[in-house]
A and B are shown apart, each in its own frame.
Chain A
Amino acid sequence: MHGYANPARFLKLARPATAWLLCVGALSLLAGVYGGLAVTPPDYLQGETVRILYIHVPAAWLGMAGWASIAAASISQLVWRHPLAAVAGRAVAPAGATFAALCLATGSIWGRPTWGTWWEWDGRLTSMLILLFLYLGYIALTSAERERGGEGRMAALFGLVGAANLPIIHYSVLWWRTLHQGQSISITQGSTIAPELLWPLPLTMIGFTAIFAAAVLMLMRADLARTKLEARLRRSAAE
């Protein structure tokens, strides 16, 4: 990882990676969405609304993975002072917030025909809403620190403390058995979803993840270019 601590080396890798990730993401998403909307059968209980699964699950995964990345970047910044860690944290936050909000919105749309309600103060829904608020707080904190010319240590600490919400989201369906269904897909125990309904999900997971990564790389490149410009302007003003 430290090999890419040099922004110039990072940019050399990020430029082609952005284009590749966008291509892979778009193709994978198109295939997954086509499969999810036109090929898979309706569920015997939920009917057609089961198709929301193919966007709701990737949105939830990226909302949580985004914060896990912020926590990893925070450790990297606080412990090793990695020069790209704060840049990565700032770039991940808006993308993670977008997918956390999308998860809540698609869940609400799915909940109305399935549960008969748009919203319930259920453990999973509430902890996901807290995650969205954490993202908004992190974005505000990083912007304020950047404006003041700080190193972003407060935001890094906030990123680490906020990671405590991730296991709460994950285990909420076990701790509070209210409205949201339990875990349907597990790495160790497999899936309880029928294979004929499940196959488009990995495609949309890969598609959304690749697009998320491309957006993060583009925002990192924008952040690095702004930093370079600010340094140049400071140098010109000093001369």
Chain B
Amino acid sequence: MNQWAFVTAAYGLAALATVGLVAWAWLSMRNAEADAEAAKRPR
């Protein structure tokens, strides 16, 4: 049993989850703040 395969899988999953969470949070924030800012401008 190659132990490094398990270590790589665990770290890969952790990287994916962490980067995914930060990217999703950043995109949500950027889009919501841009929409709020756009609504503030007079039409």
Instruction: List A residues at the B interface (Cβ < 8 Å).
Output: 22, 29, 33, 37, 47-49, 51-52, 55-56, 59, 94-95, 98-99, 101-102, 105-106, 109-110, 112-113, 208, 211, 214-216, 218-219, 221-223, 225-226, 228-229, 232-233
Question: Is the beta-carbon distance between B29 and A109 smaller than 8 angstroms?
Answer: no
Kindly provide the distance from the CB of A163 to the nearest chain B CB, expressed in whole angstroms. Answer: 23
What A residues does B22 contact at CB under 8 A? 22, 211, 214-215, 218
Chain A interface mostly? helix
Question: Is the beta-carbon distance between B6 and A55 smaller than 8 angstroms?
Answer: no
B39 touches which one: A55, A101, A232 (CB < 8 A)? A232
Kindly provide the distance from the CB of A174 to the nearest chain B CB, expressed in whole angstroms. Answer: 26
What B residues does A49 contact at CB under 8 A? 3, 6-7
Kindly provide the distance from the CB of B22 to the nearest chain A CB, expressed in whole angstroms. Answer: 6
Question: Is the beta-carbon distance between B26 and A113 smaller than 8 angstroms?
Answer: no
Question: Is the beta-carbon distance between A101 and B10 smaller than 8 angstroms?
Answer: no
Question: Is the beta-carbon distance between B13 and A218 smaller than 8 angstroms?
Answer: no
B33 touches which one: A29, A51, A225 (CB < 8 A)? A225
Which residue of chain B lies nearest to A114 when distances are taken between CB atoms in the complex? B6
Which residue of chain A lies nearest to B37 when distances are taken between CB atoms in the complex? A225
Question: Is the beta-carbon distance between B14 and A218 smaller than 8 angstroms?
Answer: no
Q: Can you list 18 residue pairs at the A/B interface with Cβ under 8 Å?
A: A47-B3, A48-B3, A52-B6, A52-B10, A52-B11, A55-B14, A101-B17, A112-B6, A211-B18, A211-B21, A211-B22, A214-B22, A219-B25, A221-B33, A225-B29, A228-B36, A229-B35, A233-B39
**How many residues belonging to B are interface residues under a CB distance threshold of 8 Å?**
27
Q: Name the 10 nearest CB pairs between A and B, nearest first.
A: A225-B32, A218-B25, A48-B3, A222-B28, A222-B32, A225-B36, A215-B25, A218-B29, A222-B29, A55-B14
Question: Is the beta-carbon distance between A105 and B36 smaller than 8 angstroms?
Answer: no
Which residue of chain B lies nearest to A97 when distances are taken between CB atoms in the complex? B21
What A residues does B14 contact at CB under 8 A? 55, 59, 102, 106
Known contacts A228-B36, A232-B40; A106 and B10 CB within 8 A of each other: yes
